[in-house]
Amino acid sequence: MSAGQREMPPPMGPYVNLKPSDFAQAKSFRSSDRVVMTYYFYWYDIYTKAHIIDPDGTDALTTHPPTLEDFSYKSVRWHKTQLSDMMAAGIDVALPVYWGAPSEHEPTAHLHWSFAGLKPLVQAAEELLKEGKQPPRLGLFYDTSTLQYNSWHQHIDLTTDFGKRWFYASIRDFFSLIPPRLWAMMDEKPIVVLYSAAFAKAHDQSCIDYVREQFAQDFGGRVPYIVREVSWRVQADNVYAWGGAIRPSVHGIAQLGPGYDHSAVPGRQPLIVPREGGKFYENAWLRILRRKPSIVAIETWNEFHEGTDIAESKEYGRQYIHLTRKYVDLFKRGVTPPRPQGKYTGAKSVEVVLGEQNQENGLRQVESGDGVTAAAVAGGKTCRAAQPTRFAGRYVYFIIDDTFKWADAMDVTVEVEYFDSAEGSFTLEYDSHDPTATLSGAYKRCAETVTLQGSQTWKTARFALRGARFANSQNADADFRIAVSAKEFYVRRVAVQRLSTNR
């Protein structure tokens, strides 16, 4: 049967066709509240060894729970322990990582555990409520990989009628299994966090609009609070960038985690971001606290495969539960950590001289997927040349030493010594507070643009950056980048000079 001929199955759970009275016991966060969320992986099952032992018999986990006894999505006791520990850590919202889809309704379907695990999770939360406790409310983390990998073997195009119905049915099924009194809502809207758009065959705004329209019909007039990952080219209620366990970020919602290690996952290239005894996690929190977001999402509560867990574990005990509570309390109080002191505190400028080996003095040039350079010689001087990548444009990225950053909003001049080798232009894009700039201000374009004429001479350009944030929000943790529109571009020296010590 072709995709367009399939009918969507009915909702999995009973909580549909809701009336306003069904929300009598529901609570909602306000957009002005400070909220902490975490991603809850509930796919483990000690009884079948699913997600615990790999098919070849090897250990599937990089880090491990403190015990394997009753370690299962089927266990109310296990869910209750996790929810209780989240309460101890100060977590407001648990986001079950959900692979449910219309194709997975049958008990024999590969991903049916996504549905089966929600009933005991709900029971665990209900028991905690009856005990007078306030467990984390439940939002949806929609793992969109099911748009490509599912039991119907369909690659879903979200611009088609079938694709939109699939998309909505996946979201509908989750909420149909959760009583509204347990929903995590923002401004009365149930929270839906979307994973990467890369798994969709195609997408556009119509799939989001369709979800909102259909959800309101089935769920008492409510519309979802949709959080898009940065890869979604749509309008949504908020935005985030997955990967906070590797590098903290703030794109509307702040993402952070304790580090990363997927050594136990077969077939992957090695990638380890060390925990540094907790220092990596603490530094991530300090960076986030300086940015003052209203929502923080922690990657993850218990993804033991990739070693991003902050739950109690055999390797780290309850260390990360305690660390989380420490920083959640600071976050809820609105505490801003003091700026680090060091070599460049009070310095008038920082610079980097570029070549085969860069000479760094408080400023560092870094490589990124869309910002690749190579050592070169131009006009008799050593330098670096911006290289083409699979991305449009050419970029050169820079990080300012933290001890030079004296304020939340900085006025600086940036000098760029460049070789005028070919016609074109370049400018700077910097991390700013401008909410209209790309990715919540991360890429504000400078007012000045330099025209390249191919004069074959070395020149110096100056750019005035007003109210710069410099919170490492760009690719590769950069604070600013040179954005080049030319076939060739050579840069030898970049310097950042403070204009005022009063900001």
- CA-based nearest residue to 490, from 417, 434, 409: 417
Q: What is the pLDDT of residue 16?
A: 96
Paired sense of beta strands 490-498 and 457-468, if any: unpaired
Task: Judge whether 173 and 10 are in contact, CB under 8 Å.
Answer: no
* Other residues' Cβ atoms within 10 Å of the Cβ of residue 271: 12
Q: What is the pLDDT of residue 503?
A: 41
Going from the C-alpha of 155 to that of each of 199, 315, 399, the distances in angstroms are 8, 39, 40
Q: Tell me, yes or no, whether 410 and 445 share the same domain.
A: yes
Strands (DSSP E) along 164-223, which ranges?
Answer: 185-186, 189-194
* 162 token code pair: 């079938």
Q: Tell me, yes or no, whether 298 and 418 share the same domain.
A: no
Helix (H, G, I), strand (E, B) or coil at 79: helix
Range of the domain at 353: 349-498
From CA 54, how far away is CA 122, in angstroms rounded?
A: 28
From CA 417, how far away is CA 415, in angstroms rounded?
A: 7
| Per-residue pLDDT at 440 exceeds 90 | no
Instruction: Read off the pLDDT of each residue in 76-104 and give the average, rounded to a whole number.
Output: 98
Q: Residue 400: inside a domain, yes or no?
A: yes
* Other residues' Cβ atoms within 10 Å of the Cβ of residue 464: 13
Higher per-residue pLDDT: 408 or 39: 39
Q: What is the pLDDT of residue 2?
A: 53
Q: Residue 340: inside a domain, yes or no?
A: no
- CA-based nearest residue to 310, from 86, 142, 134: 86
Look up tokens 């300012």; give the residue.
400
H helices, E strands: number in the chain: 8, 26
For residue 3, name the pLDDT band (cuts at 50, 70, 90): low
Angle between helices 76-89 and 118-130 (to 10 degrees): 60
Q: What is the pLDDT of residue 396?
A: 98
Q: Which long-range contacts (CB under 8 A, 24 or more apart) does 103-110 make?
A: 103/146, 103/150, 103/151, 103/152, 103/154, 104/146, 104/150, 104/151, 105/9, 105/12, 106/151, 109/151, 110/151
- CA-based nearest residue to 491, from 349, 359, 353: 353
Q: Tell me, yes or no, whether 433 and 300 share the same domain.
A: no
Helix (H, G, I), strand (E, B) or coil at 459: strand
* 155 token code pair: 């690659």
Final residue belonging to a domain, choices 283, 303, 333: 333
Provide, for the chain, the percentages of residues in helix, strand and coil under a 3-state DSSP scheme, each rounded to the nearest 5: 25, 30, 45
Q: Tell me, yes or no, whether 296 and 374 share the same domain.
A: no
Q: Tell me, yes or no, whether 310 and 385 share the same domain.
A: no
- Per-residue pLDDT tens digits for 362-387: 999 999 999 999 999 999 999 999 99
CATH number, domain of 395, equals 2.60.120.430
Final residue belonging to a domain, choices 303, 333, 363: 333
User: 369: buried, middle or exposed (CB in 10 Å: 19+, 13-18, 0-12)?
Assistant: exposed
Q: 168 Cβ partners below 8 Å, 6+ apart? A: 210, 211, 214, 215
Q: Which residues pair with 185 in a beta bridge?
A: 190
Q: What is the pLDDT of residue 502?
A: 42
From CA 375, how far away is CA 355, in angstroms rounded?
A: 6
Task: Judge whether 278 and 319 are in contact, CB under 8 Å.
Answer: yes
Phi/psi at 295 (nearest 5 deg)? -130, 135
From CA 342, how far away is CA 135, in angstroms rounded?
A: 42
Q: Tell me, yes or no, whether 288 and 322 share the same domain.
A: yes
Q: 62 Cβ partners below 8 Å, 6+ apart? A: 261, 262, 263, 264, 265, 304, 305, 306, 307
Q: Which residues pair with 373 in a beta bridge?
A: 386
Q: Tell me, yes or no, whether 321 and 388 share the same domain.
A: no
Please give the mean pLDDT across all residues of the chain: 95
From CA 237, how far away is CA 224, in angstroms rounded?
A: 9
Instruction: Read off the pLDDT of each residue in 223-251 and give the average, rounded to a whole number.
Output: 95
Instruction: Read off the pLDDT of each residue in 116-129 and give the average, rounded to a whole number.
Output: 98
Q: Tell me, yes or no, whether 176 and 89 share the same domain.
A: yes
Task: Judge whether 40 and 95 are in contact, CB under 8 Å.
Answer: yes
The tally of domains found in the chain comes to 2
Q: Tell me, yes or no, whether 294 and 395 share the same domain.
A: no
| Per-residue pLDDT at 218 exceeds 90 | yes
Distance of CA 376 to the CA centre of its chain: 36
Torsion, Cα of 380, 382, 383, 384 (10° steps): 110
Q: Tell me, yes or no, whether 315 and 380 share the same domain.
A: no
Q: What is the pLDDT of residue 370?
A: 94
Final residue belonging to a domain, choices 274, 299, 333: 333
Q: Tell me, yes or no, whether 316 and 412 share the same domain.
A: no
Q: Please name the helix (run of DSSP H) or strand (run of DSSP E) that holds residue 45, with its range, or none.
A: none
Q: Residue 339: inside a domain, yes or no?
A: no
* Sign of the torsion formed by the C-alpha atoms of 65, 323, 475 and 494: negative
- CA-based nearest residue to 413, from 434, 433, 428, 394: 428
Q: Tell me, yes or no, whether 10 and 55 share the same domain.
A: yes
* 403 token code pair: 């001890």
Q: Residue 344: inside a domain, yes or no?
A: no
Helix (H, G, I), strand (E, B) or coil at 289: helix
Global pTM reads 0.88
CATH number, domain of 155, equals 3.20.20.80
- Per-residue pLDDT tens digits for 377-426: 999 999 999 999 998 889 999 999 999 998 889 999 999 999 999 999 99
Q: What is the pLDDT of residue 267?
A: 86
Q: What is the pLDDT of residue 339?
A: 84
From CA 175, how far away is CA 182, in angstroms rounded?
A: 10
Q: Residue 338: inside a domain, yes or no?
A: no
- Per-residue pLDDT tens digits for 323-343: 999 999 999 999 999 888 999
* Other residues' Cβ atoms within 10 Å of the Cβ of residue 149: 16
